[in-house]
Structure 1
Amino acid sequence: MSGKINVMIVDDSAAARRALSDLLAEDPGIRIAALAADPFEAAGKLSGGLPDVILLDLELPRMDGLTFLAKIMKQHPMPVVICSSHTENGSKAAMRALEIGACEVIGKPKLGSAAARQEAQIRLSDAVRAAAQAGRGRGLGNPARKKPLPKPAPFSPGPKLTADAILPPPRPQAPFPNGLPPIVAIGASTGGTEALSEVLPKLSRVTPPVVIVQHMPEKFTAAFAKRLDGLCQVAVREAANGDKALAGTVLIAPGDHHLLLRRQGQGYRVEIQNGPYVARHRPSVDVLFRSTAIAAGPGALGVLLTGMGDDGARGLLEMRDVGADTVVQDEKTSVVWGMPGEARRLGAASREKPLSAIPAEISAFAARSAPA
């Protein structure tokens, strides 16, 4: 067995297979184990040995990707990353794929410039690594690999920027006006779509405004928000620039854009920005949390859920340093305990809670913040 993460790519486009292979080949911790043009060819190659991760297109000949994914999860459960087109139909199918059991969803890479190629490489590599780690946590994957995958070799295509690239850090002892309304800021990545689907439906209509960064591609967050809106008492939608953050409303950062919270009178609005990747992500949780620390200070609750990497950990510490309440999801209930684990290591978390207790934490925060 290779010490690298072995990946099978299933896509009917030869050009797409080649592009995805070239991008992943630049990561020293990843190996292309097999290529397939459709599910039947993939099934034949799977019979000769299982990869650690499957990178799967959804629009395939002879059998659609969702049907093939369902068969994989029934017969040989393993980590699957969906690589789908940036369309409304593609977004809806991707949401269904997450429900069936896919670990991650990414958009088809755009390679029109050197910067776009670098961003695509980061997204693709991080998604494969996150899926492999999530699979190990769930007991999924290749049973022939008797030991856990070794830690992949360091991989850093370009500088890893901090939130300084988007906005300056909070000023020490910044004054905050009395009576600012409470607000909840949540960050999540791998496993976060499932986690948010458990947390948000349990919130009441009188919940303080909630702003969320969930690492997802462009176009996919609108479908995700619409799906959640049908499950929740609170109103859930993809954030638009200038939206007011209102009680009983959840605003989710649009894919491929940063979400910042701004103070507006005695309330808040959101600002949507492009800009570079921060902590290898756009949207970045660090950017949301820093802006929340600046805008709301002690009037905020920061919640960091499951996810690979460290995005959000430093931002949560900045929130705690200005007096905000902070909570992280515990290791046992996290699909990947990267982001919340790093926050705990930094001392950013006031406490750790299982996912099932997060709605109660938000409700308790709302009760503490309510006017006398």
Structure 2
Amino acid sequence: MIKKWIALCLGALLLVAVFSGCGTGETPSGSQGSSPQGEPAAEGEIVTREDGSISFTDLSGRAITLEKQPETIAVANYLVNFMLVGGSQSLDKVSALAIDGWQDTRYGEYTVFTESFPKLLELPSVGGYHNDVLDAEKVLALAPDVLLINTSQYTENEASIPTWEAAGIQVVTVDYHKMSLENHLRSTRILGALLGRQEVAEELCRRYQGGIDLVNERLSTLSPEEKAAKVYVELGNNGAGEYGNSYAGTLWGGILDNLGVINLANGRLEGAYGVLDREYVISSNPDYIFIGGAIWSGDTGGDQMRMGFTIDEALAQERLRGFAGREEWRGLTAVQNGDVYGVDHGSLRNIADYVFTEYMAKCIYPDLFADLDPEAEMHDLYATYLPELRYTGTFMIQWDRQ
């Protein structure tokens, strides 16, 4: 009798558990689990509900809940990622950009995007492409449902954020600058939730994670001695006559850390980036050299490294020869072996930038990654997710010594 009573009680409890777990109307993504109705999601989790509300923790660590998908979004950073997730139709939701100086800072990107999507030129700007401080009054006047920013913009505009949010503008922070796998994936999933493109966001995340995992799995077969290559990365915006920034723990430095090589910049900079002493570079005798290029203004000497959208390979090779031909570099192992490469700096901070992890891995370990074609992968990603883009340019090259 007692056993029967216990069994009935357990059955009742089980039914309560089952029915209380149903009907919440929540669909978590990004990680397993769910949050109670109306409560913010746990970090790394995005919860969408049947009533249209969305909850997640953004990359500033703030719990965000939106009553519905935003109808208007001011995109103050990461326009390319926004459009890769949202497709060309995502521009219908964009009410403003932060693009003052875009043409001067990323001319190639500016050219192909504005020619492919002329609507970009019709949108108001609320700040500079490389200036973190936004026009607070203009943001208020435009009153978007969501203001999309990066982590440094969050810091620089922290005093304005309470005013914006009191006016009904939800500030959402994402981050691709750190070159962290976790941040790239979380940011992409947030974009997917904001745009109602969760499936596309997950596809992009799988491609990114798959590319990084493939590299990591193969590198795990190498001994510490085999991964002891010395690598020097320099931004070529100052031209061949003057040394440019190197990176530690971020951007190119983040990629080198993932590859497990010796980054000459690690432990030598006061911050995340800066110029290394040329005597130090020479005495370190790097095995591999990568010069980051783009199209910057102020190319008075005609020797800045040129890479990226609209650049043909002949020009990129011409500029790379200027760096490889530095008199003081003649005896360096990298130069002697022809291991000097050009890479597009403007393509970092992007859900497609795993291809540069693949490319640098292939340059340093050519036999281990002989089957990879990072440039073709990059082209395919843009063709798949943003087919209207008039994709031309040079994004990764090896110095042609002939």
Q: Which has the larger radius of gyration?
A: 2
TM-score normalised according to structure 2 size: 0.29
User: Greater share of helix residues, 1 or 2?
Assistant: 2
